[in-house]
Amino acid sequence: MSDEQEPAKTGSRYRIEALAKGLDVLRLFDESVTSLKLREICDRTGIPMPTAFRVVATLEEGGYLERMPDGSIRPGVAVLLLGSAALRGSSLVQLSEQPLRHLAEESGETVNLGVLVGDQVLYLARLRNSDLVTANIQVGSTLPAAYTSMGKLLLAYLSDDELAVTLARHDFGADAGPNAAKSLAELRRRLAVIREQGYSLQDQEVAAGLRSVSVPVFGRDTGRPAAAINIAVASSRHELDSLRGPLLERLRATADDISRLLRST
């Protein structure tokens, strides 16, 4: 029986097992897993070696995977194009584009839109000032939520149990700036303040030399944010007080504009 003829084990009767296997392979890759050997793909998915070989070969032919000289396999350009198209097509991104662009022009600073994905913040939009130190962050990048202003703001709306589960695998102190929280207990105290004041500051917690301020964007569900937006600045040019002042006012006005657009759709 071919892969295409295998009966569905779960889900819809229209499920195509060969396609499902291909998607399982693609899901293996993320920010921390950028390449795998074929044997590792088999071990992680449970797909038999002959089938995995055919799945990988098919994805490679379509440009969704590529094989490196050492035989390891990594995502290809076609995956990046799909991801970029998905982000551009998101109603959240589309509705946020003009307000964020206006904010970037008005403030002269870098502005970002992000959502919480597990214990990471996924950047959905980024308009970057050339002076900012984090040139390696782009749309589709992720950063640990516990260290970022957008991440902390979104974490602040989780229950205690949800927060514990979300950060269960987070390694406090790893890849962090000098002022990052060193424990879950310390982060909880910071999140309590964020929830009360309605905005989040990041003072060299992601990396030395970087500060930011973030506020929530709400859709129809006003109990939890649909996303967060921030203004990110170089610490050499802005003290924390400036982030609490006019920049925060502009940021809140932009968030209100985006929230109104989301609720009207």
Give the confidence band of 137 by pLDDT, cuts at 50, 70, 90: confident
Q: Would you kindly state where each structural domain of the chain is located, as residue ranges?
A: 3-81, 90-264
CB 166 within 8 A of CB 155: yes
The second-level CATH assignment, the architecture, of 90-264 is 2-Layer Sandwich (3.30)
Least confident segment among 110-114, 240-244, 255-259: 240-244
Instruction: Return the pLDDT at 150.
Output: 97
Query: Of 260, 166, 265, 165, which is closest to residue 222 (Cα–Cα)?
Result: 260
Instruction: Kindly report the average pLDDT of the chain as a whole number.
Output: 86
pTM of structure: 0.69
Is residue 189 scored above 90 in pLDDT?
A: yes
CA angle in degrees (0–180, nearest 5) for 181-183-187 = 55
Instruction: Return the pLDDT at 201.
Output: 96
Q: How far apart are CA 95 and CA 77, in angstroms?
A: 27
Q: How far apart are CA 148 and CA 112, in angstroms?
A: 11
Is residue 10 scored above 60 in pLDDT?
A: no
Instruction: Return the pLDDT at 2.
Output: 44
Residues 6+ apart with CB under 8 A from 58: 22
Top-confidence residue, 259 or 84: 259
Is residue 8 scored above 80 in pLDDT?
A: no
Highest mean pLDDT among 9-23, 112-126, 147-161: 147-161
Fold match flag (3-81 vs 90-264): no
Domain 3-81: which topology? Arc Repressor Mutant, subunit A (1.10.10)
- Summarize the confidence of residues 39-60 as an average pLDDT: 94
Instruction: Report the percent of the chain where pLDDT is more than 90.
Output: 49
